[in-house]
Structure 1
C-alpha cells in the first residue's frame, strides 16, 4: 500500500487509514475481522478519538493490540479536546485529561498521531502548542495535528512553534473530497476548499481526510430527485457536485474502475501528501478502497474532475 511520511513518526503512514467510530468491545469479533483484514493488505494506521462510542472505540483497539501483541506495528491516530455540552474544551487541562484517558484505554504509553478534535480560536496558539510540546517532551505524543482547524490557525500555530524552537503541527485532518461541502456536516467542522489545498501544496503539510468519499455520494445511491437523506442533501447536493459526479462516472468508465474508486483516487492524488480515512466494514468494501488507492491520476485529470 502507498504511504506518506509525517514528521515525528518513524514509520511511514499508510495512505488508507482505518476508521473506528463504531468499534466497541461488545462487537469485538467484528473489530478483529476489520483490523486483521486491513493490516493484511498493508494498512498500518487506525483512526479513533476520545469521544468515539464514549471511549469504547479506544478500549476495543487497545484490546486488539494487546491480543495481537503488535503495538509497535500500529500507528494510532487519536483525537482529544472535543467540545462538550458546556462548549469548547481546547485548553491545557482538557487536552491533558483526554490524552491520559486515551493512553489508558489504548493500553499504551504513547500516541503516534495526536490531533485536537476541534479548535477554539479564542485560545492563543501559544497556550496550545506549549502544552502539546510538554507531552511530546515526555514521550506521550510523537506528532501533533489539528482536526477541523483552518489553515490560518495552523499557520499561526506553526509560526509560533518555529519562533520558540518547539514542535508544530505536522498534519491536518479536515474533510477533503471531490464533492465539495455546501456547509459543515457537523458544527465546527472544516472542509478543505481550493484555497486550503493551495496552502497545503505550498507548505506540503500532510492532509488526512475524513469523509473522503463524501459519505457515499459517489456510490450511485443518490440522485437529484432523491431527497430522503437530509444530511447528504444539505451538505452535498449542488449543481457543481452533480457535474463532478458525472465526470467521475465518465473517468471511471474510461479506466475500467468504479466511480467511488475515482472519488477516492482524487483525494490520494493531490499535489501534497494525503491519506484517506475509510470506513470499510467488510472484505468487499476494503478491496474497493485498496484498488481505488492504487489508481494514479494526472494533475490534469484531478483538475478536470473538479470542473476546472
Structure 2
C-alpha cells in the first residue's frame, strides 16, 4: 500500500503526507483511539511510534487500535533505544529481538517502515544494511531506514541498500524552525549536508517535530525536559513573526503556515503530534494553504 507513495514520484496520490505521532502509551487508551480514528478518517496513512517510547508501552497502545481497525493505518516504528532513550548496540540479534517484540506489541504481520532510532558508529554500514535487509527478507518489515545518522554514514547506507535493491527512509528533525543542535539532546536536525544526501539519493524523509514542539503557536520560549527550548533562537523568533504576518493575510494560524512550509518541500513527510482532534484538524489545514515560492523563501530567510 505504501511503497509507491513513499517514493517521491508517487506522493501526489496521497491524501496528505502527514505522519501521526503522539504520547501513545502515556495517555488514556480512549484518547489515543479517538485521535487515531480521526486521523485515519481524514485520509492519514501512517502512525509513528518507537519500541522505546512511554517506557516501552507505546507500541502496545498503538497495537490495540490497529487490532480493532486493521488495515486503516500503516505503522512506522524505531528500534535501537532502550526504554530510557539510551542508544543500544545494533547487533543483528538485538535488532531482530526488538522487531519480534514490536510485531507482537503492534499486532501486525509486518511493520510498514522500520527505522534504526540511532546509529552504531562502531559497526560498518554494510553490516547494519545487511541486518535491515534480513528483516525484509524474513517478512518482518516492508521498508527500512534510519534516524539521526550523520550525513556521510547516511550516504554510505543509501549506496549499500541501493546495491541490495532498497531505498532507505530517513528520519530527522525538520521544520521551519532550525533548532540549536547543542540543545537537541543528541538528536539530529536535517541540515544542509543531510538534505544534500536525501536529494541526491531521492530518499523519503520523515520530519519529526515538524511543528517545532508547538513553537509557532506560542509567543515565547519554554523549558523542555528541564532544558532551554532549542527552537527559541533569534532567527526562529523572526520566522515566527513572519508566520504571524502571513497567517493574518491568509486568514490562518502561524503554526498552520509553518507546517504548510514543510509540505512545500518534495519528499518530506512531516510528523505531527497533536493531543486532540481539534489540534489534528488545525494541522491538516496546512495542506490547503498554497504558498508561493517567494513566500516559502521569505518565511525561512526574511528576504
TM-score w.r.t. the length of structure 2 is 0.88
In structure 1, the partner of 2:28 is: 27
Structure 1 runs of 4+ aligned residues shifted over 6 Å read none
Which 5+ residue runs of structure 1 have no aligned equivalent?
none
Distance 1:232 1:254 in 2: 34
Q: Choose the corresponding residue for 2:260, options 253, 257, 265.
A: 265
Contact 1:248/1:305 (8 A) holds in 2? yes
Residues in 2 aligned to 1:155 and 1:76: alpha-carbon distance in whole angstroms: 25
Change (3 A) 1:194 1:247: farther
CA change 1:39–1:302 in 2 (3 A) is same
**Alignment match, 1:305:** 299
2:103 maps to which residue? 103
1:256 Cα shift? 1.4
Task: Provide the residue aligned with 1:235 in structure 2.
Answer: 230
Query: After the TM superposition, which residues 221-232 of structure 1 pair with which residues of structure 2 at under 5 Å, given as runs?
Result: 221-222=219-220
Residue 245 of structure 1, CA deviation: 1.1
Q: Does the Cα contact within 8 Å between 2:56 and 2:83 map onto a contact in 1? A: no
Quickly say closer, same or farther: Cα 1:66–1:22, change in 2 above 3 A: closer
SS in 1 for 2:206: strand
Aligned to 2:284: 290
Q: What is the RMSD of the two structures over their aligned residues, measured on CA atoms?
A: 2.6
What is the alpha-carbon distance in structure 2 between the residues aligned to residue 91 and residue 215 of structure 1? 32
TM-score (normalizing by structure 1): 0.87
- Quickly say closer, same or farther: Cα 1:168–1:206, change in 2 above 3 A: closer
Q: Summarize deviations over 1:162-211 as a string: whole Å, max 9, x none.
A: 34x34241x11100111111125543211012333343333331111111
Q: Is the 8 A contact 2:22 2:275 kept in 1?
A: no
- For residues 294 and 201 of structure 1, the distance between their equivalents in structure 2, rounded to whole angstroms, comes to 25
1:18, 1:47 within 8 Å by CA — same for their partners in 2?
yes
CA distance in 1, matches of 2:192, 2:294: 15
The DSSP-based 3-state class of the residue aligned with 1:276 is: strand
Q: Residues 83, 59 of structure 1: CA spacing in aligned structure 2 closer, same or farther, 3 A cutoff?
A: closer
Contact 1:114/1:144 (CA < 8 Å) preserved in 2?
A: yes
Q: Residue 192 of structure 1: which of 186, 190, 193 is its match? A: 190
Shift of 1:19: 0.7
Counterpart CA distance in 2 for 1:216 and 1:280 is 9
Aligned partner of residue 188 in structure 2, secondary structure: coil
Offset at residue 99 of structure 1 (A):
0.5
Is the Cα contact below 8 Å between 2:87 and 2:118 reproduced in 1? no
Q: Is the 8 A contact 1:17 1:276 kept in 2?
A: yes
Q: Is the 8 A contact 2:34 2:277 kept in 1?
A: no
* Structure 1 equivalent of residue 272 of structure 2: 278
The answer for the alignment partner of 1:175 in structure 2 is 173
For 1:215 and 1:200, the matched residues in 2 are separated by 23
* Greater mean deviation of Cα atoms: 298-307 or 227-236: 227-236
Alpha-carbon contact 2:220-2:232 (below 8 Å) kept = no
Deviations 1:122-173 (A, max 9, x none): 211111111111111121111011111223211101212334x34241x111
What is the CA–CA distance in structure 2 between the aligned matches of 1:67 and 1:230, rounded to whole Å?
34
CA contact (8 A) 1:51 1:82 kept: yes
Query: What does residue range 207-226 of structure 1 map to in structure 2 within 5 Å?
Result: 207-222=205-220
